[in-house]
Amino acid sequence: MRGGGGGMMDDGGVEHAQIPNSFGHELRACLRCRLVKTYDQFRENGCENCPFLDMDKDRDNVVSCTTANFTGPVLPLSEFIAQILACRIISLMDPNRSWAARWLRIGRFIPGCYTLAVSEELPEEYQGMCQDNNVQYFPPKRP
């Protein structure tokens, strides 16, 4: 699909998230699901996993619900795996079958690009929105 737009299924559901159209400093990660896109992509289309955060309707929500500070894992890993994961972003094609998706607790999200970890918490008012929408939120683990 051109422009990295999210694909649509016949029933109107999203088949996959937008792919970042740039890999520079404008990348941001959703604080709830860790989906990675550019600021402009979040502003224009929101987060495909978290539509209730209304990022596509309010620029302030994009700033509050995403971060440019995302990192790799904090857990001790073998040097080989640490080098692979040093890129900080993984692409999930089939989250339901991916061991990495299960390990990162993103197996129920749609295919797309995800960061391995975020260091900031979703602000409390947005955590409340998750609760109001019966959506689980897992705050980042502290080292």
How many structural domains compose the chain?
1
pLDDT of 55 reads 98
- Is residue 73 domain-resident? yes
- Paired tokens of 141: 């683990």
- Calpha distance 16→14 (Å, rounded): 6
Beta carbons within 8 Å of 71's beta carbon, 6+ residues apart: 88, 115, 116, 117, 118, 119
Give the pLDDT band of residue 116 (cuts 50, 70, 90): confident
- Is residue 4 domain-resident? no
81 pLDDT above the threshold of 80: no
- Is residue 7 domain-resident? no
- Is residue 55 domain-resident? yes
Q: What is the CATH number of the domain that holds 97?
A: 3.30.40.210
Give the pLDDT band of residue 43 (cuts 50, 70, 90): very high
pLDDT of 82 reads 53
- Nearest CA to 120 out of 141, 91, 94 is that of 141
Domain residue limits at 58 = 19-132
33 pLDDT above the threshold of 90: yes
- Paired tokens of 113: 């690009």
106 pLDDT above the threshold of 90: no
- Is residue 86 domain-resident? yes
Round the average pLDDT of the chain to a whole number and report it: 82
pLDDT of 3 reads 36
- Is residue 103 domain-resident? yes
pLDDT of 127 reads 97
pTM listed for this prediction: 0.79
pLDDT of 142 reads 67
30/92: higher pLDDT:
30
- Is residue 10 domain-resident? no
